[in-house]
Amino acid sequence: MQQDILINWSPQETRVAVVEHGAVQELHIERTLERGLVGNIYLGKVSRVLPGMQSTFIDIGLERAAFLHVADLMTPFTGHAGHKSQDADTPPPPQIPIEKQVFEGQALMVQVIKDPIGTKGARLSTQISIAGRLLVFLPQDDHIGVSQKIPSQQRDELRQRLQALVGERATGGGGGFILRTNGEDATDAELAEDIAYLRKTWALIKSASTRLPPKSLLHQDLDLLQRVLRDLVSENTQTIRLDSREQFEKLHAFGREFMPASVEKLQHYKGERPIFDLFSIDEEVAKALGKRVDLKSGGYLIVDQTEALTTVDVNTGGYVGARNFDDTIFKTNLEAAQAIARQLRLRNLGGIIIVDFIDMVREDHREAVLGEFRKQLGRDRVKTSAGSFSALGLVEMTRKRTRESLAHMLCEPCEVCAGKGSVKTARSVTYDILREILREARQFSPREFRIVASPKVVELFLDEESQHLAGLSDFIGKPISLQAETSMAQEQYDIVLL
């Protein structure tokens, strides 16, 4: 599928949109003051070991301590857990408890594998990997591998070729390599150049780790503009349009040195209209922050994101275009399968996702919808896994989460509803106030009670609830006055004792 990449740059923020057939499929945002940490390498300091969780907290100089689980801890005895090759008949060695491997105050070289999300700190690994243009370097391992996205019939040949190249032509020795998808057609000279670059980078990191104190940054991953060329460009990319002359020249120079095949697709956008207006991208972003997603057929999705999981509900809405009800449901679900996969990419939703398609009676319809859904998920750069329909007609899936979702990045909890998504009705608030006055009257004996509340609540007291207010005043034997405060939200109120 042909795609275009549009880049809107400003000093405070870089925005990248991946567009296919006129529709935005992915949106990547990097803010100068909130740059992501995945790929960064630090010299961390162990601040706390938790044997019960087989984990440790590492101070890498951030606001919150980062988290390292024993499964992500490489040891000199067994290698990285789950990654060391074993003979088929040899049982894996028992995992060494974390309290026997690390201690408080110890300095550890660590790499961020997951950005801080919500209240959780960054997740770390001690197995370092450094991504290049064509290869990923594993300096502590000797594994030679090939990306799973490359067809299986080519993997063995490419693995043997890379093995020979690492052993015979590269200097510096040691370390393992994984061939990336865009290195499938690379020449030996290009691969050797990437190997040399990666080993040189690792040498600089090791040198820095001996000179710098704990909690120091040893290596920072490429910025978003550079990662566009490294990670987002594929053979399907037609153009990469960037609206800043200065950044275009910098990216062009970077691409000439490291990604020459991508440079010819790079263009400086000189149009008067903002580049994101070309495909109404800002409108798509606004829609992606809402719960409802309208489908062309008249159906719609409801996307609900919570801390634990994300739910997607499919509804027919006003769609009555098919010959019978079964076909209406089938066509709505097929369209929804495509739209859901796109929304997951656009909103960068991760973790556990539950999809509630409209119930289908026919098994062939269910299989067709599931097949289309998995096909669309297969286009995602991020690893996904989708199960079959459950007994309740739900599809459970997971999508790897390495950074904040679009909503978490661009939004914050509402000050009025505190993230609940709803507020108490004005009538509910009036009854809360009446109960509170009764409670206060039993403890204190002021001359007067004054209610300070939002105009809507005060208006209700003056109108429909006036009888209840007067009845309470008679019961406690004290006057109750009202004061409207426009700055107060509907749930806010004060009871002043005069």
Residue 384 forms beta bridges with which residues? 399
Domains of the chain, residue spans: 3-35+223-281, 128-214, 290-410, 426-497
Tell me the chain's radius of gyration from C-alpha atoms: 29
- CA dihedral of 362, 364, 369, 371, whole degrees rounded to 10: 160
Q: What pTM did the predictor assign?
A: 0.70
Q: What is the dihedral sign for C-alpha 270, 271, 272, 274?
A: negative
pLDDT of residue 323: 64
- Closest C-alpha among 2, 31, 1 to residue 16: 31
Domain 3-35+223-281: CATH class, spelled out: alpha beta
CA dist 260 and 225 (Å) reads: 15
Non-local CB neighbours of 144 within 8 Å, separated by 6+ positions: 159, 162, 163, 166, 176, 177, 178
pLDDT of residue 174: 72
Q: What is the CATH number of domain 128-214?
A: 3.30.230
CATH architecture of 426-497: 3-Layer(aba) Sandwich (3.40)
The pLDDT of residue 199 is 85
- CA–CA distance, 161 with 13 (Å, rounded to integer): 41
Average pLDDT per consecutive 10 residues, the chain (498 residues; last block may be shorter): 90 92 89 84 94 93 91 63 42 78 92 86 92 86 79 74 66 74 74 82 91 92 87 86 93 84 89 88 88 88 88 80 75 92 92 92 91 91 87 90 82 79 90 93 91 94 92 92 92 92
Cβ-Cβ contacts under 8 Å for 281 (sequence gap 6 or more):
6, 17, 19, 24, 27
